[in-house]
Amino acid sequence: MGDDKYYTLAEGCPFASNRTAVLMRDKQGGGLGLLQDTQLIETLAHFSRERIPERVVHAKAVGSYGEFEATRDCSDFTCASFLNKVGKKTPVLQRVSTVGPESGSADTSRDVHGWSMKLYTDEGNLDWVFNNTPVFFIRDPIKFPSMNRSHKRHPQTHLPDANMFWDFHVGNPEGIHQLMVLFSDRGTPKSVRYMNSYSGHTYKFTKADGSFKYAKIHVKTQQGIQNFSREEATKIAGENPDYMIQDMFEAIERGDYPVWNVYVQLMSPEAAEKHETNIFDMTKVWPHKDFPLQQIGRLTMNRNPRNYFADIEQAAFSPSTMVPGFAASADPVLQARLFAYPDAARYRLGVNYQQLPTNAAKAQVYCPFQRDGSMRFDDNYGGDPNYVGSWIKPTKFYQDVKGTNPGALSLHTEHEKWAGEVSAYSSEITDADFVQPAALWEVIGREPGHQDRLVDNLVSSVKSVKYPELRKAVYSLFSRVSKDLGSRLQKRTEAAIKAA
């Protein structure tokens, strides 16, 4: 239709004006509206229903489209189709967000940034639901809601609350590594274009025979890491709370397409059994000297959304969205996310959210055992059987059509056989939880002024804690990383409180 489009109501009826209302007028210039005024009623009713539930976390986001290009034939460790040929390109949708704040908040706030990518592969969609930090605050899935609530608003005051934040982290100190990253310079990235992202979780790359390697994925910016200082981030938050959205949109519009290299760390099951730490603990990283980065691809973002709501707000990502050759590990937090993310999408978007254009696979989809439901967009599989085991119309499978089995999603090898009793479990805190944070403190010390900035960033938060005993517990927590760090934090925080 192009430029010949003319205005109609939602059902297609042409209308002569979009500025009129049907009224019974009086002599004084007033008027009573009539129920027959379909245009007015539909306009008002639709406006009241424009908003869908906001994401409970990751509400404020930047979104764009691009492509993933394989730079290596990875057939030696995975049967994933999108990685089987050098130069093979796969369309990608990217969404990068803060975690705790609401949709209208400032995107330069100090926070972890979620980094989700939907790869529209030729064997279905693959969602990589990452963060811009290689570690996380928790390793026990039951703590996920509590951790996020402590980063949000107080239930009585409806204000961000440092007491809540630090009360949670003192009581759950396994997150100290992530806290070190969050309050370092990397807690306030300058732009989506200048940050890395990481799988955090351990995944598995699998082959058709069921063998696999454990994997962590790293997405590293070619633009270089750049961060705001605390003062710069705060200033921009007040002047332009949508700074990151604008920065990314305008960069793509002018053809300055950001690029990231994609790497994997691989670990054999045998090495995992001998590794000094639990490889499913996402509060820890794998040493690069033992498990070096291997480049597998390149990510280029080169197209802005046509419409933010349709393409980005309605996008749904879940680590459970996988393809043959890529599988989940026994990471307990990952296992919980496999359920929580699609469940959130069903609540927010409806049971048929996978049919929305931004979520729909570009590969063939035939899933006649998921039928009906609100907002069904297709023919609902017509008269095909909606039950398994049909003789009238037997279900065909990949191997029936292609002649070969699809790649293994997972296989329970000897390494993965489960034998044990069902029990309630929560991880314990040990000195090992402070080894990598201590090493990070030393690494930060090699950058001029970075240790001081980390301490000052912590002070800006801890000084708002009104309970002296809770502040002491915070100092004690960071003293387990470094006595020097704990001492500096205590002295500067208490001095700031006295000076206030």
Q: Give the per-residue SS3 of the chain.
A: CHHHCCCECCCCCECCCCCCCCEEECCCCCEEECCCCHHHHHHHHHHCCCCCCCCCCCCCEEEEEEEEEECCCCCCCCCCHHHCCCCCEEEEEEEEEECCCCCCCCCCCCCCEEEEEEEEEECEEEEEEEECCCCCCCCCHHHHHHHHHHCCECCCCCCECHHHHHHHHHHCHHHHHHHHHHCCHHHCECCHHHCCEECCCCEEEECCCCCEEEEEEEEEECCCCCECCHHHHHHHHHHCCCHHHHHHHHHHHCCCCCEEEEEEEEECHHHHHHCCCCCCCCCCCCCCCCCCCEEEEEEEEEECCCCHHHHHHCCCCCCCCCCCCEEECCCHHHHHHHHHHHHHHHHHHCCCHHHCCCCCCCCCCCCCCCCCCCCCCCCCCCCCCCCCCCCCCCCCCHHHHHCCCCCCCCCCCHHHCCCCCCCCCCCCCCHHHHHHHHHHHHHHCCCCCHHHHHHHHHHHHHCCCCCHHHHHHHHHHHHCCCHHHHHHHHHHHHHHHHHC
pLDDT score, position 210: 85
Q: Report CA torsion sign: 94, 100, 102, 108.
A: negative
Domain boundaries, the chain: 2-47, 61-355, 434-499
pLDDT score, position 468: 98
Active site residue 18: no
pLDDT score, position 400: 86
Q: Which residue among 58, 113, 151, 169 is the active-site one?
A: 58
pLDDT score, position 405: 78
Please give the structure tokens belonging to residue 161.
């609350």
Q: Is 249 exposed, middle or buried (0-12, 13-18, 19+ CB in 10 A)?
A: middle
pLDDT in tens, the chain (500 residues): 468 899 999 999 999 999 999 988 988 888 999 999 999 999 999 999 999 999 999 999 999 999 999 999 999 999 999 999 999 999 999 999 999 999 999 999 999 999 999 999 999 999 999 999 999 999 999 999 999 999 999 999 999 999 999 999 999 999 999 999 999 999 999 999 999 999 999 999 999 888 999 999 999 999 999 999 999 999 999 999 999 999 999 999 999 999 999 999 999 999 999 999 999 999 999 999 999 999 999 999 999 999 999 999 999 999 999 999 999 999 999 999 999 999 999 999 999 999 999 999 999 999 999 999 999 989 999 999 999 999 999 999 888 888 887 765 555 555 666 555 666 677 899 999 999 999 999 999 999 999 999 999 999 999 999 999 999 999 999 999 999 999 999 999 999 999 98
Active site residue 275: no
pLDDT score, position 231: 98
Q: Which residue among 113, 125, 131, 177 is the active-site one?
A: 131
pLDDT score, position 398: 85
Tell me which architecture the domain covering 61-355 has in CATH: Beta Barrel (2.40)
pLDDT score, position 399: 86
Determine whether the annotation assigns residue 353 to a binding site: no
